[in-house]
Amino acid sequence: MIHSSRIGVWWRVLRPFTLTASIVPVLVGAGIAIPFYHFHVWRFLAMFLASILIQSATNMFNEYYDFKRGLDDERMVGIAGTIVRDGVKPTTVLRLGFIFMAVALLLGIYLCATTSWWLALVGIVSMGIGYLYSGGPWPLAYTPFGELAAATAMGPVIVLISFFLQSGTVTWRAALLSIPIGLLIGAILFANNMRDMVQDAEGGRRTVVILLGRERGRILFASVFAAAYLVIVMLVVFHLITPWALAVFATIPTAVYVVRLYYQHTEPAKLHAAVKGTSNLLFRFGVLMFCAMLVSLVHVA
């Protein structure tokens, strides 16, 4: 029983439901390449694991620095705050984050050695953003640029790296197809910040939703979802993605459900389901995009 309890604590440190933001971009990037290029299995697996490790490390840095700055306390909702709730040593969380980053770096060396060393520059910048989101003297999470920086590094950048690992190039088509994924990853961060906006403001954060206010934040949140679907329609209209990608519209009920929660509630405890719902929406949206590309490949063949 104690063993299973400890596993649960470490599982919460990883913040597993947020890991869709590291899984989906790798899938979509590979999916864009599969119909046109030879599929490199080991590169895909290495990138898949490295992406998860970097985001897990970012979550741990966030856990550590939020605790050190006094932002985490007994009022917290969700699965963050294992240092406060479960008594995990802060230095242990920080050390594990750096270990995860180190393993990701080794995987990155393998990927560079099999493709291009220019990839190292992009990877180091992405890892740096992962750390600076919460760490350093001016953490991005405390500014209005946190969502934008993280969404770009975890959305289009990871999609394009994953595409590059299969194709050996970067194209405008791949960049455009990465936009809806970046929008939905940004929506996860925005959803989290809207849930925690009162406590974040007390802790000195100045996120986008804090600057906009709750009502305008709700409008922006719903607009991001609408933009993601609109981009898919435009990509289909201009023949940049298969019409099968319109299958992502099956996720609209989830988007409506999540937005309604933010209009119905303000209490963080009641909004945690909306944060998880946004993460689930990204996963379903991304998997449907990936499957659409595979289906189009079968039809072409």
The whole-number average pLDDT for the span 41-67 is 91
Name the one residue in this structure whose structure tokens are 């990204």: 282
Q: What is the pLDDT of residue 204?
A: 82
**Fold of the domain spanning 2-300:** Farnesyl Diphosphate Synthase (1.10.600)
Q: What is the pLDDT of residue 135?
A: 82
1 pLDDT band, cuts 50/70/90, is very low
pLDDT of 25 above 70? yes
pLDDT of 215 above 70? yes
92 pLDDT band, cuts 50/70/90, is confident
Q: Which amino acid is at 191?
A: A
The whole-number average pLDDT for the span 52-81 is 75
7 pLDDT band, cuts 50/70/90, is low
**CB environment 101-121: b (16+ within 10 A), e (fewer):** beebbebbeebbeebeeebee
Give just the sign of the alpha carbon dihedral 248, 42, 33, 169. Answer: positive
The whole-number average pLDDT for the span 102-109 is 95
pLDDT of 201 above 90? no
pLDDT of 249 above 90? yes
The domains of the chain are located at: 2-300
Q: What is the pLDDT of residue 112?
A: 96
Q: What DSSP line would sit under 98-140, residue for residue?
A: HHHHHHHHHHHHHHHHHS-THHHHHHHHHHHHHHHTT-SSS-G
CB 88 within 8 A of CB 78: no
pTM of structure: 0.90
Q: What is the pLDDT of residue 49?
A: 96
Percentage of the chain exceeding pLDDT 70: 88
Q: What is the pLDDT of residue 157?
A: 94
**Region of poorest pLDDT, from 46-50, 69-73, 215-219, 261-265:** 69-73
Percentage of the chain exceeding pLDDT 90: 58
The whole-number average pLDDT for the span 276-288 is 95
Q: Count CB-CB contacts under 10 A for residue 50.
A: 27
Q: For 109-158, what is each residue's pLDDT tens digit?
A: 999 999 999 999 998 988 888 888 888 788 888 888 888 888 888 889 99
CA 82/CA 52 separation, integer angstroms: 19
Q: What is the pLDDT of residue 8?
A: 63
Q: What is the pLDDT of residue 231?
A: 97
pLDDT of 5 above 80? no
pLDDT of 268 above 90? no
The whole-number average pLDDT for the span 270-298 is 90
CA 215/CA 152 separation, integer angstroms: 25
Q: What is the pLDDT of residue 138?
A: 83
Q: What is the pLDDT of residue 6?
A: 61
Closest CA to 130 of 160, 104, 150, 151: 150
